[in-house]
Protein backbone atom coordinates (compact mmCIF):
# COMPACT_ATOMS: atom_id res chain seq x y z
CA UNK A 1 0.00 0.00 0.00
CA UNK A 2 1.25 3.47 -0.85
CA UNK A 3 1.22 6.71 1.05
CA UNK A 4 0.67 9.97 -0.79
CA UNK A 5 2.04 13.09 0.86
CA UNK A 6 0.36 16.48 0.69
CA UNK A 7 2.65 19.47 1.25
CA UNK A 8 1.60 22.91 2.42
CA UNK A 9 3.85 25.23 0.40
CA UNK A 10 3.37 28.10 2.85
CA UNK A 11 4.72 26.23 5.89
CA UNK A 12 6.66 23.40 4.23
CA UNK A 13 4.85 20.79 6.32
CA UNK A 14 3.97 17.47 4.72
CA UNK A 15 0.88 15.47 5.69
CA UNK A 16 0.72 11.72 4.90
CA UNK A 17 -2.48 10.44 3.32
CA UNK A 18 -3.09 6.68 3.35
CA UNK A 19 -5.53 4.61 1.33
CA UNK A 20 -9.07 5.23 2.53
CA UNK A 21 -8.07 8.08 4.85
CA UNK A 22 -9.24 11.66 4.51
CA UNK A 23 -7.42 14.95 5.03
CA UNK A 24 -9.57 17.94 5.95
CA UNK A 25 -8.15 21.31 4.89
CA UNK A 26 -9.43 24.64 6.13
CA UNK A 27 -8.95 27.82 8.09
CA UNK A 28 -8.38 27.12 11.74
CA UNK A 29 -10.50 28.91 14.33
CA UNK A 30 -12.22 27.95 17.62
CA UNK A 31 -15.06 26.25 15.73
CA UNK A 32 -12.89 24.35 13.25
CA UNK A 33 -9.97 21.97 13.73
CA UNK A 34 -8.84 20.87 10.24
CA UNK A 35 -6.10 18.29 9.69
CA UNK A 36 -4.21 20.82 7.55
CA UNK A 37 -4.79 24.30 9.01
CA UNK A 38 -4.44 27.37 6.79
CA UNK A 39 -3.83 30.91 7.97
CA UNK A 40 -5.57 32.75 5.16
CA UNK A 41 -8.80 34.77 5.31
CA UNK A 42 -9.76 33.52 1.84
CA UNK A 43 -9.65 29.86 2.87
CA UNK A 44 -12.95 28.58 4.26
CA UNK A 45 -13.12 26.89 7.66
CA UNK A 46 -14.12 23.65 5.92
CA UNK A 47 -12.53 24.35 2.58
CA UNK A 48 -12.00 20.91 1.05
CA UNK A 49 -11.40 17.27 1.84
CA UNK A 50 -8.85 14.96 0.21
CA UNK A 51 -9.20 11.18 0.16
CA UNK A 52 -6.73 8.66 -1.27
CA UNK A 53 -8.47 6.05 -3.43
CA UNK A 54 -7.28 3.17 -5.62
CA UNK A 55 -4.59 3.93 -8.18
CA UNK A 56 -3.00 6.61 -5.98
CA UNK A 57 -5.70 9.04 -7.05
CA UNK A 58 -6.82 11.73 -4.64
CA UNK A 59 -10.51 12.55 -4.54
CA UNK A 60 -10.93 16.28 -3.92
CA UNK A 61 -14.26 17.45 -2.50
CA UNK A 62 -14.77 21.20 -2.54
CA UNK A 63 -16.92 22.56 0.30
CA UNK A 64 -15.65 26.14 0.23
CA UNK A 65 -16.96 29.59 -0.49
CA UNK A 66 -13.81 30.70 -2.32
CA UNK A 67 -13.17 27.73 -4.62
CA UNK A 68 -10.65 24.91 -4.92
CA UNK A 69 -8.51 24.60 -8.06
CA UNK A 70 -6.46 21.67 -9.39
CA UNK A 71 -3.74 23.01 -11.67
CA UNK A 72 -5.86 26.19 -12.00
CA UNK A 73 -8.96 24.20 -13.05
CA UNK A 74 -11.87 24.91 -10.70
CA UNK A 75 -13.27 21.88 -8.88
CA UNK A 76 -17.02 21.53 -9.39
CA UNK A 77 -17.96 19.81 -6.13
CA UNK A 78 -15.64 16.84 -6.74
CA UNK A 79 -12.62 16.01 -8.90
CA UNK A 80 -9.48 13.85 -8.84
CA UNK A 81 -5.83 14.83 -8.44
CA UNK A 82 -2.57 12.92 -8.85
CA UNK A 83 1.05 13.23 -7.75
CA UNK A 84 2.56 16.47 -9.01
CA UNK A 85 -0.74 18.35 -9.09
CA UNK A 86 -1.07 21.71 -7.35
CA UNK A 87 -4.17 22.66 -5.42
CA UNK A 88 -5.00 26.32 -4.98
CA UNK A 89 -7.37 27.17 -2.17
CA UNK A 90 -9.11 30.50 -2.53
CA UNK A 91 -6.96 33.24 -4.04
CA UNK A 92 -3.42 31.99 -3.45
CA UNK A 93 -3.04 29.33 -0.73
CA UNK A 94 -1.30 26.37 -2.38
CA UNK A 95 -0.68 22.74 -1.51
CA UNK A 96 0.99 20.16 -3.72
CA UNK A 97 0.59 16.39 -4.08
CA UNK A 98 3.98 14.70 -3.76
CA UNK A 99 5.08 11.40 -5.31
CA UNK A 100 3.70 8.33 -3.48
CA UNK A 101 6.04 6.30 -1.27
CA UNK A 102 5.75 2.79 0.11
CA UNK A 103 3.89 2.63 3.42
CA UNK A 104 6.27 2.60 6.37
CA UNK A 105 9.05 4.41 4.51
CA UNK A 106 10.02 7.81 5.96
CA UNK A 107 9.53 10.89 3.82
CA UNK A 108 12.42 13.34 3.44
CA UNK A 109 10.27 16.20 4.70
CA UNK A 110 7.70 14.91 7.13
CA UNK A 111 5.08 16.96 8.90
CA UNK A 112 2.68 15.88 11.60
CA UNK A 113 -1.01 16.54 11.79
CA UNK A 114 -1.94 19.06 14.49
CA UNK A 115 -2.52 17.36 17.79
CA UNK A 116 -0.13 14.48 17.13
CA UNK A 117 2.37 16.00 19.54
CA UNK A 118 5.30 15.77 17.16
CA UNK A 119 7.49 18.51 15.74
CA UNK A 120 8.00 19.03 12.04
CA UNK A 121 11.21 17.25 11.11
CA UNK A 122 13.33 17.72 8.03
CA UNK A 123 15.34 14.54 7.64
CA UNK A 124 18.50 15.22 5.65
CA UNK A 125 19.31 11.94 3.94
CA UNK A 126 22.42 12.10 1.71
CA UNK A 127 21.62 10.81 -1.75
CA UNK A 128 17.85 11.22 -1.27
CA UNK A 129 16.69 14.75 -1.96
CA UNK A 130 13.24 15.92 -0.82
CA UNK A 131 11.00 16.97 -3.69
CA UNK A 132 9.87 20.26 -2.15
CA UNK A 133 10.96 22.72 0.52
CA UNK A 134 8.45 25.50 1.04
CA UNK A 135 7.90 27.10 -2.34
CA UNK A 136 11.19 25.73 -3.70
CA UNK A 137 11.19 22.65 -5.94
CA UNK A 138 14.20 20.45 -5.22
CA UNK A 139 15.92 19.01 -8.30
CA UNK A 140 18.98 17.15 -7.04
CA UNK A 141 21.71 17.00 -4.41
CA UNK A 142 24.81 19.07 -5.19
CA UNK A 143 27.05 18.11 -2.30
CA UNK A 144 27.51 17.57 1.41
CA UNK A 145 29.44 19.37 4.10
CA UNK A 146 30.00 19.17 7.80
CA UNK A 147 26.91 21.22 8.61
CA UNK A 148 24.45 20.07 5.99
CA UNK A 149 23.49 19.13 2.45
CA UNK A 150 23.23 21.47 -0.55
CA UNK A 151 20.56 20.95 -3.20
CA UNK A 152 19.88 22.49 -6.57
CA UNK A 153 16.32 23.81 -6.65
CA UNK A 154 13.94 25.94 -8.69
CA UNK A 155 12.64 29.27 -7.39
CA UNK A 156 9.18 29.86 -8.94
CA UNK A 157 9.09 33.52 -7.91
CA UNK A 158 12.35 34.32 -9.70
CA UNK A 159 11.83 31.68 -12.39
CA UNK A 160 15.44 30.55 -12.07
CA UNK A 161 17.54 27.88 -10.37
CA UNK A 162 18.89 28.37 -6.87
CA UNK A 163 20.94 26.43 -4.33
CA UNK A 164 19.51 25.47 -0.93
CA UNK A 165 21.67 24.50 2.02
CA UNK A 166 19.84 22.50 4.69
CA UNK A 167 21.28 22.18 8.17
CA UNK A 168 21.87 18.52 8.94
CA UNK A 169 20.74 18.81 12.57
CA UNK A 170 19.71 22.10 14.12
CA UNK A 171 18.85 20.60 17.51
CA UNK A 172 22.15 21.93 18.86
CA UNK A 173 21.90 25.62 19.71
CA UNK A 174 25.48 26.34 18.60
CA UNK A 175 25.00 24.80 15.16
CA UNK A 176 21.72 26.65 14.63
CA UNK A 177 23.30 29.95 15.69
CA UNK A 178 26.21 29.49 13.27
CA UNK A 179 23.74 28.68 10.49
CA UNK A 180 21.72 31.84 11.12
CA UNK A 181 24.90 33.87 11.25
CA UNK A 182 25.99 32.43 7.90
CA UNK A 183 22.74 33.73 6.42
CA UNK A 184 23.22 37.16 7.94
CA UNK A 185 26.88 37.53 6.95
CA UNK A 186 26.32 36.21 3.43
CA UNK A 187 23.54 38.75 2.95
CA UNK A 188 25.85 41.47 4.28
CA UNK A 189 28.55 40.53 1.78
CA UNK A 190 26.29 39.51 -1.09
CA UNK A 191 26.59 42.80 -2.97
CA UNK A 192 30.13 41.85 -3.93
CA UNK A 193 29.98 39.93 -7.24
CA UNK A 194 32.63 37.36 -6.25
CA UNK A 195 30.71 36.28 -3.12
CA UNK A 196 27.69 33.98 -3.40
CA UNK A 197 24.56 35.91 -2.46
CA UNK A 198 22.13 34.46 0.09
CA UNK A 199 18.72 36.00 -0.57
CA UNK A 200 16.38 33.93 1.57
CA UNK A 201 16.46 31.70 4.59
CA UNK A 202 13.81 30.01 6.62
CA UNK A 203 12.76 27.39 9.08
CA UNK A 204 10.41 24.45 8.65
CA UNK A 205 9.17 23.71 12.14
CA UNK A 206 11.35 24.39 15.19
CA UNK A 207 14.41 22.43 14.03
CA UNK A 208 14.79 22.52 10.26
CA UNK A 209 16.81 25.49 8.96
CA UNK A 210 17.74 26.26 5.37
CA UNK A 211 19.49 28.94 3.30
CA UNK A 212 18.60 29.89 -0.27
CA UNK A 213 21.38 31.31 -2.42
CA UNK A 214 22.29 32.00 -6.01
CA UNK A 215 23.03 28.86 -7.99
CA UNK A 216 26.55 28.83 -9.42
CA UNK A 217 26.72 26.94 -12.71
CA UNK A 218 30.27 25.64 -12.59
CA UNK A 219 32.77 23.67 -10.52
CA UNK A 220 34.78 24.15 -7.37
CA UNK A 221 38.39 25.25 -7.55
CA UNK A 222 39.25 21.79 -6.19
CA UNK A 223 37.72 20.17 -9.28
CA UNK A 224 39.69 22.46 -11.59
CA UNK A 225 42.94 21.70 -9.77
CA UNK A 226 42.36 17.95 -10.06
CA UNK A 227 41.61 18.27 -13.77
CA UNK A 228 44.75 20.33 -14.37
CA UNK A 229 44.53 24.10 -14.23
CA UNK A 230 46.45 26.47 -16.48
CA UNK A 231 48.87 28.50 -14.35
CA UNK A 232 47.75 31.86 -15.74
CA UNK A 233 44.07 31.08 -15.22
CA UNK A 234 44.87 29.75 -11.75
CA UNK A 235 46.68 32.94 -10.75
CA UNK A 236 43.71 35.03 -11.90
CA UNK A 237 41.29 32.91 -9.89
CA UNK A 238 43.45 33.23 -6.77
CA UNK A 239 43.70 36.99 -7.29
CA UNK A 240 39.92 37.35 -7.59
CA UNK A 241 39.44 35.19 -4.51
CA UNK A 242 41.89 37.35 -2.57
CA UNK A 243 39.93 40.47 -3.51
CA UNK A 244 36.71 38.85 -2.28
CA UNK A 245 38.40 37.94 1.01
CA UNK A 246 39.73 41.50 1.33
CA UNK A 247 36.21 42.86 0.79
CA UNK A 248 34.93 40.62 3.60
CA UNK A 249 37.75 41.83 5.86
CA UNK A 250 36.79 45.44 5.12
CA UNK A 251 33.30 44.55 6.35
CA UNK A 252 34.76 43.06 9.52
CA UNK A 253 34.21 39.43 8.50
CA UNK A 254 36.89 36.70 8.60
CA UNK A 255 35.95 33.61 6.56
CA UNK A 256 38.06 31.11 8.58
CA UNK A 257 37.49 28.20 6.20
CA UNK A 258 39.11 29.43 3.02
CA UNK A 259 39.94 26.44 0.81
CA UNK A 260 39.49 25.36 -2.83
CA UNK A 261 36.22 23.54 -2.01
CA UNK A 262 34.68 26.86 -0.98
CA UNK A 263 35.73 28.71 -4.12
CA UNK A 264 33.27 28.10 -6.94
CA UNK A 265 34.24 28.87 -10.53
CA UNK A 266 31.61 29.66 -13.17
CA UNK A 267 31.78 28.39 -16.74
CA UNK A 268 33.35 31.68 -17.81
CA UNK A 269 35.93 31.45 -14.97
CA UNK A 270 34.43 33.97 -12.58
CA UNK A 271 35.01 33.35 -8.86
CA UNK A 272 32.22 32.90 -6.30
CA UNK A 273 33.34 32.58 -2.67
CA UNK A 274 30.90 30.60 -0.54
CA UNK A 275 30.29 28.87 2.82
CA UNK A 276 30.53 31.42 5.61
CA UNK A 277 29.34 28.83 8.13
CA UNK A 278 32.21 29.38 10.56
CA UNK A 279 33.06 32.95 9.59
CA UNK A 280 33.79 35.32 12.46
CA UNK A 281 32.50 38.87 12.70
CA UNK A 282 34.34 41.52 14.69
CA UNK A 283 33.06 41.44 18.24
CA UNK A 284 31.31 38.06 17.98
CA UNK A 285 32.05 35.50 20.66
CA UNK A 286 31.12 32.11 19.24
CA UNK A 287 34.66 30.73 19.41
CA UNK A 288 36.07 29.75 22.78
CA UNK A 289 39.65 30.58 23.75
CA UNK A 290 41.93 27.76 22.62
CA UNK A 291 39.45 26.44 20.04
CA UNK A 292 40.58 26.32 16.40
CA UNK A 293 38.06 26.68 13.58
CA UNK A 294 38.55 25.61 9.97
CA UNK A 295 39.93 22.77 7.86
CA UNK A 296 43.35 21.75 9.29
CA UNK A 297 45.12 21.36 5.93
CA UNK A 298 44.20 24.93 4.97
CA UNK A 299 44.57 26.70 8.31
CA UNK A 300 47.30 29.26 8.97
CA UNK A 301 50.10 27.82 11.14
CA UNK A 302 49.36 30.27 13.94
CA UNK A 303 45.83 28.86 14.24
CA UNK A 304 47.01 25.35 15.05
Q: Which residues are catalytic?
A: 257
Cα distance between the two ends of the chain: 55
Q: Kindly tell me the burial class for residue 137, based on how many C-beta atoms sit within 10 Å of its own C-beta (0-12, 13-18, 19 or more).
A: middle
Q: Could you say which DSSP state residue 287 is in?
A: S
- Would you state the torsion angle of the CA atoms of residues 258, 275, 126, 219, taken in this order, to the nearest 10 degrees? -70
Q: Could you say which DSSP state residue 286 is in?
A: -
35 touches 25 (CB < 8 A): yes
Strands of the sheet containing 22-27, edge to edge, are 36-38, 22-27, 48-53, 57-62, 78-81
Alpha-carbon span 198 to 47, nearest angstrom: 36
Amino acid sequence: MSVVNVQDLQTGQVYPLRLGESLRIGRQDPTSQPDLPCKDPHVSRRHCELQLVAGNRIRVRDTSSYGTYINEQKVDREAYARAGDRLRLGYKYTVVILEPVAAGMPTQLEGRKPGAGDETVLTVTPGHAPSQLGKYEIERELGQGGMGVVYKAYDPDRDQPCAIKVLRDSSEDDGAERFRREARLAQLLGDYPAIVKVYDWGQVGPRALYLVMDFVDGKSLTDHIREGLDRLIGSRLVSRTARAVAYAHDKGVVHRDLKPDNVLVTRDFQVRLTDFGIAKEDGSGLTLTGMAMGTPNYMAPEQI
